[in-house]
Structure 1
Amino acid sequence: MLALMGCATGPAMASPILLDWSPQALLGATSGNAYSNINRGQHFAEVVSFAVNTLVDGMAIYSGIGYGGVGTLVDVAIWADDAGRPGALLGRFGSAIDLVDMDGASGGNVRKHAQFAGFTMAADVSYWIGMAGHSVELAQTAIRNANGGDGQMAQFTGRGSYQGQAGVGDMAFRLYGTPLGPQQHVAIPLPGTLPLFGLAGVGLLAARWRRSG
C-alpha cells in the first residue's frame, strides 16, 4: 500500500547512520552540486538493500548551499525494484529539512538532513529511495568515480515518472534508521542514455548534460 505521510512538525534527534554515500565516503570527484531536484520536476533515486529487516526513518542528500535550508519542505520517496530499475511507488513521505551542515561534504556541497515517519525495508530486498524539494528547489550532488558506485542515478520527472539512468555520477546521500543486524548495500543500476538537466544560478533546468551511450 502506498504510504502518504504529512510534513514533520519539527526536528528531532537523528537516528544512527545506516548507509553512508556522502561525498567524503565515495572518494570520487563532484560532477555537479546543482542538478535540479524538485518533486514536481526532475528528481533522483539510488538503489539500496540491507541484509536484515531495517527501519529507515531519516535521509540526507548533498547539494549546493544555495538551494533549500532548515525548514524547507521535502518529499522522501521509495520505490520497489523491478529487474534493476525503479518499479511501483511504495511510499512518499512529507518532511522538512531539520539540519544543514558540512558533515560528509566536500567539493562545495552541504548535507541536508530530514527525518520522516519511517519505512521498513525487508531483508535482501532492493528498494529505490530519493529526497527532493516539495515545492522549493533542493538540488542534488553527483559523484563521479565513486568508490563502489556505478556512475549513475535514477532520474524521474513529475511525481515519480521514471526516465532512465542518468550517467553523471552516483547520488550523494545518507540513510538513517535502526537495523537489526549488519547492513548490506547494493547499488548497481542498469546503464542508460537520457538528457539530464542542471541549474545555473536560480533558474530551473537552465543547463543540460547528456551522457553518450
Structure 2
Amino acid sequence: MSRYVLERVQLSAQNHPKRHAAVSCAIGGLLVAATSALSVIQRSETVSWPAVIAVAVIGGGAWAAAMAVFVVRLQRRMKPLPPETDPARVRAARRLMRNGELGPDPETNALAVRMAEQLQSIPRWKKFTTTAFLCTTILGVLVTAPAISDGEVGKSVFYGACTLFPLLMLTVGRARLDRHHRNAAEIRRAAEHRTNTEAER
C-alpha cells in the first residue's frame, strides 16, 4: 500500500474536482443520513420506519447536494497541482508550508509556495462560519439540556457529542486554520525575499 495516500487523494481531488466531490459528499451524506435516522429513533420509539427513512434521505441528500456544490466551487478557485507531482514532494512541501519555513530543495520550496497560494485563494467566510457554528452549538445545548434533566444518559451523550463538535471547530479548528494561513503568508514572503536577494547578487 502506498505511503502517500493522503497526498495522492489531494492530487486526484484537485485534478478531478467533480469526481472527488461526488465520492466525498456521498460518504458524508450517508453519515448525516445515519445520524438523522438515529436521532429520530431516539426521540420516539413509536416512529414508523418509512418516516425514519424519509428523514434520513432528505437530510443526507440535502447535505450531500449542498456540500457537492460547495466543494466543486472551492476546488475550481484553486490552480491544481500537476497530476504527475511526486506525492513524497507534496508531503515535504506541506510540512514546509505548515512550519512557514523554506527548505534546502528549490523544487520543494516552489511547490510549498504554490500550495500556500492555494490555501490563501480559498475564501474564509469567517462571519458566516462563526454564525453557523454558534447557532449549531446553541441548538445542541437546547436539545442536550432536556435530555440531561430527564436523566436520559444515552441521549445526553449523543447530543452532547454533537454539540461539542461545532464548538471545537469554532475554537480549536479556527485557531489551527489561522495558524496555517499565517505560515502560508510567511513562506511566500520568505520565498519572495530569497528571490530578491538572489537577483541582487
TM-score over 0.5 (shorter chain): no
| TM-score, with length taken from structure 1 | 0.22
Query: Which structure dedicates a bigger proportion of its chain to helix?
Result: 2
Query: Which structure dedicates a bigger proportion of its chain to strand?
Result: 1
